[in-house]
Amino acid sequence: MENSLPQANNMTLAPPGGHAPSQKQVKCKDCALRKSDTFRAFTPKELEFVQSLKRGELAAEAGTTIFLEGQNSAHLYTILSGWVFRYKTMPDGRRQILNFGLPGELLGLQTYVFKELDHSVEALTDVVLCVFPREKIWSIFENYPELSFDLTWISARSENLLDNNLLSVGRMTAIERVAHAILQIFDRLDQLEMNTGNVAEIPFTQEQLSDALGLSHVHTNKMIKELADLGHIDWQSGKLKVSDREALIKLSGYETPVDTPRPFI
């Protein structure tokens, strides 16, 4: 009744065939994300336009494959709630998680720009996605310079996150990587006001984290334990507490980003 869609045993390709726009959909002007001043304010005109692009909402369970490497997609999505991750795999099963996606982020720009996607995207938690048909994207470029700029902005930001991940995976030690990742996730959640003080709800498993960091899950676990033994963090049953942010920063060379309001569509 609720989740109109992917009956989502893992690996269902979404959206399946002619996917039904869900019954109730939030108007863009009422979108919860707009309320946050993390995101730049839209003019009424922009809001109305974006509303005209929105086809509906798509709810997907944790574990659902949203995009599959090599496929094309008829839609782009903005994450309204929940987490996803982008990843690539090798034939023998090795997996690299490229990035985690949080609310406000756009999925599938690559599928619009190129013919097909060369990575996959999976829902990490139950998610709600805002659906845009790809044929309508062009009208953004055609009519809304500010929004076109936003698309470039979004793409550049995503590149930026990758730069950081590459530095981490390429040149940091295991413990530095873990500390760095924790701080990065923390700050991103902070921007979205998804933290309670110094505690965050972390939906990913240690194995998923290790796939993001290029480490084995065993070693990742040992590093987490070490950070905990040092008294810097406490990570229990999905709740991550950063007890000593400064120590983590010192340990990993993390630089707190200046966060200016960012666009989302």
Partner DNA sequence: CGCAGTTTTGAGACTGATCAATGCCTGTGG
Partner DNA sequence: CCACAGGCATTGATCAGTCTCAAAACTGCG
* Element holding 127 (H helix, E strand): strand 127-133
- Of residues 154 and 215, the one with the C-beta less far from DNA: 215
Exactly one of 118, 135, 193, 201 binds its own copies (CB under 8 A); that residue is 118
Rounded to whole angstroms, how far apart are CA atoms 232 and 244? 5
Is 258 a residue that touches its own copies (CB under 8 A)? yes
Reduced to 3 states (helix: H, G, I; strand: E, B; else coil), residue 26 is coil
- Of residues 61 and 122, the one with the C-beta less far from its own copies: 122
- Interface with DNA: number of residues (CB under 7 A): 18
Residues 264/78, Cβ–Cβ less than 8 Å: yes
Rounded to whole angstroms, how far apart are CA atoms 235 and 228? 8
Beta carbon of residue 93, minimum distance to DNA (angstroms, whole number) = 10
- Of residues 134 and 217, the one with the C-beta less far from DNA: 217
Rounded to whole angstroms, how far apart are CA atoms 62 and 245? 30
- Of residues 118 and 201, the one with the C-beta less far from its own copies: 118
Is 246 a residue that touches its own copies (CB under 8 A)? no
Question: If contact means CB under 5 to 8 A according to the sort of partner, which of its own copies, DNA, none does residue 241 touch?
Answer: none
Question: If contact means CB under 5 to 8 A according to the sort of partner, which of DNA, its own copies, none does residue 73 touch?
Answer: none
Bridge partners for 86 per DSSP: 99, 121
Sequence-distant (6+) residues with CB within 8 A of 83 are 100, 101, 102, 123, 124, 125, 127, 203, 204
Is 126 a residue that touches DNA (CB under 7 A)? no
Sequence-distant (6+) residues with CB within 8 A of 6 are 12, 14, 15, 16, 58, 60, 61, 64
Beta carbon of residue 14, minimum distance to its own copies (angstroms, whole number) = 21
Question: If contact means CB under 5 to 8 A according to the sort of partner, which of DNA, its own copies, none does residue 153 touch?
Answer: its own copies
Cα 104–chain centre separation: 8
- Of residues 133 and 238, the one with the C-beta less far from its own copies: 133
Q: Write out the binding residues for DNA, residues 201-260 only, by CB under 7 A.
A: 205-207, 214-222, 224-225, 237
DSSP summary character for residue 214: T
Exactly one of 12, 78, 158, 208 binds its own copies (CB under 8 A); that residue is 158
Question: If contact means CB under 5 to 8 A according to the sort of partner, which of its own copies, DNA, none does residue 145 touch?
Answer: its own copies
Stretch of residues binding its own copies (CB under 8 A), selected from 2-10, 23-31, 128-136, 252-260: 252-260
Residues 82/138, Cβ–Cβ less than 8 Å: no
Beta carbon of residue 215, minimum distance to DNA (angstroms, whole number) = 4
DSSP summary character for residue 78: E
> Rule CB under 7 A: which residues touch DNA?
173-175, 205-207, 214-222, 224-225, 237
